[in-house]
Amino acid sequence: MRAVHIERYGPAESLARVEVPTPQPAADEVLVQVQACGVNRLDLLLREGRVFQVPLPRIPGTDFAGTIVAIGEQVRDRRVGERVLAAPILSCGHCGHCLQGEDNLCQAFGTVGSSIDGGYAAYARLPARNAVPVPEGLDWITAASFALTYATAAAMLRRGRLGAGESVLVLGASGGLGHAAVQLAHQAGARVIAVCRGTQRGEALRAVGADAVVEPGPQLAAQVRELTGGQGVALVFEHVAAQTFAQSVAALAPQGRLVLGGVTTGTEATLDLKAVFANRLELLGCRGSGRRDLDQVLDLLARGRLRPHVEQVLPLERAAEAHRRLESGTLLGKVVLTL
Ligand SMILES: [Zn+2]
């Protein structure tokens, strides 16, 4: 089958077009003929190999959607011909955390497209419990564009205990994760301040729920204070990390919370410890998402309450271009590859 895999860690050119044997599903797996595969920041981090590494070669692609074409002998609840999308988080499925839908706390935590091969390929194997039926009427491109970002955003907002009427500052709001967070926070009844460059993208964010839009930079915290009557925000939604962290902490109100769910610009930052203890701040880490978060966003999507935005659709063969496009930071929402 045709596929694109990471042969060695490095720039977008490290993605190689290859012909590899079509995989066969194990007893508890399904084989999916991939129709579309979303491109995520996670794919870029994996390809760079700086934040984490896995054995290579690896076929990336956490978010994909397609048709089941074969099932393992133990699979009872999925059938051939079913339209499914990949639930991004791998977990054991039977520990206490998994049973509560907190799969990201499972000892067996992993991610489709990094712990196992993903959707940059004509076919992909998937544990049957990770094959989730596509909501009625949803097209392939949309089905492959939202699971990782929306479920992660939902998990982060839950971890940050965002409540109705509270203010939230969303960093990197024009990217896939930030764009999802703006919509989910708005749905939750929060006042959303989105951080993004460019007037056009700012307008697009207002259209999906941002109450105010500010530019990133050294003046960010001061602008946020101005917008919140000098208080600062109750919650910061942070995933840009190194470049923005100091301003994010400075933008918090007394007793504010910062939830960190990604490290796009690097893993080290300076922390104002005086601000943390004097203002009684909470710093909350959040890795991945649980099945309950995915269920929540699937439900909102099926009811037409969310609007995933796909900026560009490219054929699989142009995966390197898709990575460069994401790296350029000029996108709103997502790039999706088609097979
Ligand atoms: Zn588990």
Q: Tell me the per-residue pLDDT of 240-290, one tens digit each, with 9 for 90 and over.
A: 999 999 999 999 999 999 999 999 888 999 999 999 999 999 999 999 999
Q: How far is the CA of 146 from the centre of ligand 1 (A)?
A: 23
Confidence of residue 34 (pLDDT cuts 50, 70, 90): very high
Q: How far is the CA of 216 from the centre of ligand 1 (A)?
A: 38
Q: What is the pLDDT of residue 152?
A: 97
Tokens encoding 71 = 């099932």
Task: Give the percent of the chain with pLDDT over 70.
Answer: 100
Q: What is the pLDDT of residue 330?
A: 83
Q: How far is the CA of 73 from the centre of ligand 1 (A)?
A: 22
Q: How far is the CA of 283 from the centre of ligand 1 (A)?
A: 25
**How confident is the model over 68-84, as a mean pLDDT?**
98
Q: Which CATH architecture has domain 150-285?
A: Alpha-Beta Complex (3.90)
Of 224, 228, 229, 130, which is closest to residue 238 (Cα–Cα)? 224
Q: How far is the CA of 99 from the centre of ligand 1 (A)?
A: 7
Antiparallel, parallel or unpaired: β 282-285 and 63-71: unpaired
Q: How far is the CA of 94 from the centre of ligand 1 (A)?
A: 5
The answer to whether the peptide bond before residue 254 is cis (omega within 30 degrees of 0) is no
Q: How far is the CA of 93 from the centre of ligand 1 (A)?
A: 5
Is the confidence at residue 205, as pLDDT, over 90? yes
Confidence of residue 332 (pLDDT cuts 50, 70, 90): confident
Q: What is the pLDDT of residue 331?
A: 84
CA–chain centroid gap for 204, Å, is 19
Task: Give the percent of the chain with pLDDT over 90.
Answer: 93
Q: What is the pLDDT of residue 307?
A: 86
Ramachandran bin of 104, using left for φ above 0, alpha for ψ from -120 to 50, beta for the remaining angles: alpha
Q: What is the pLDDT of residue 329?
A: 82
What's the whole-number average pLDDT of the chain? 96
Is the confidence at residue 187, as pLDDT, over 90? yes
Is the confidence at residue 50, as pLDDT, over 90? no
Q: How far is the CA of 312 from the centre of ligand 1 (A)?
A: 35
Q: What is the pLDDT of residue 333?
A: 86
Q: What is the pLDDT of residue 51?
A: 83
**How confident is the model over 201-227, as a mean pLDDT?**
96
SS3 332: coil
Q: What is the pLDDT of residues 89-108, one digit of tens each?
A: 999 999 999 999 999 999 99
Domain residue ranges in the chain: 2-146+308-338, 150-285
Q: What is the pLDDT of residue 226?
A: 97
Q: How far is the CA of 294 from the centre of ligand 1 (A)?
A: 16
**How confident is the model over 210-233, as a mean pLDDT?**
97
Helix/strand/coil (H, E, C) string of 176-229?
A: HHHHHHHHHHHHCCCEEEEECCCHHHHHHHHHCCCCEEECCCCCHHHHHHHHCC
**How confident is the model over 205-226, as a mean pLDDT?**
97
User: In angstroms, what CA-CA distances link 114 with 18, 43, 60?
Assistant: 18, 8, 6
Q: What is the pLDDT of residue 52?
A: 85
Fold category of 2-146+308-338 in CATH: Quinone Oxidoreductase; Chain A, domain 1 (3.90.180)
Is the confidence at residue 30, as pLDDT, over 90? yes
Q: How far is the CA of 90 from the centre of ligand 1 (A)?
A: 9
Q: How far is the CA of 108 from the centre of ligand 1 (A)?
A: 6
Q: How far is the CA of 131 from the centre of ligand 1 (A)?
A: 17
Q: How far is the CA of 107 from the centre of ligand 1 (A)?
A: 6
**How confident is the model over 295-323, as a mean pLDDT?**
94
Q: What is the pLDDT of residues 123-152, one digit of tens each?
A: 999 999 999 999 999 999 999 999 999 999
Q: How far is the CA of 148 from the centre of ligand 1 (A)?
A: 18
Quickly tell me which residue has 């929306």 as its tokens: 150
Q: How far is the CA of 95 from the centre of ligand 1 (A)?
A: 4
Q: How far is the CA of 210 from the centre of ligand 1 (A)?
A: 36
Q: How far is the CA of 293 from the centre of ligand 1 (A)?
A: 15
pTM: 0.95
Of 285, 275, 203, 183, which is closest to residue 239 (Cα–Cα)? 285
Query: Are 183 and 210 contacting, i.e. CB atoms less than 8 angstroms apart?
Result: no
Q: Side chain identity at 41, as an amino acid letter?
A: R
**How confident is the model over 64-93, as a mean pLDDT?**
97
Dist CA 243 CA 14 (whole Å)? 26
Q: How far is the CA of 91 from the centre of ligand 1 (A)?
A: 5
Q: How far is the CA of 126 from the centre of ligand 1 (A)?
A: 17
Query: Are 124 and 14 contacting, i.e. CB atoms less than 8 angstroms apart?
Result: no
* DSSP 8-state symbol, 135: P
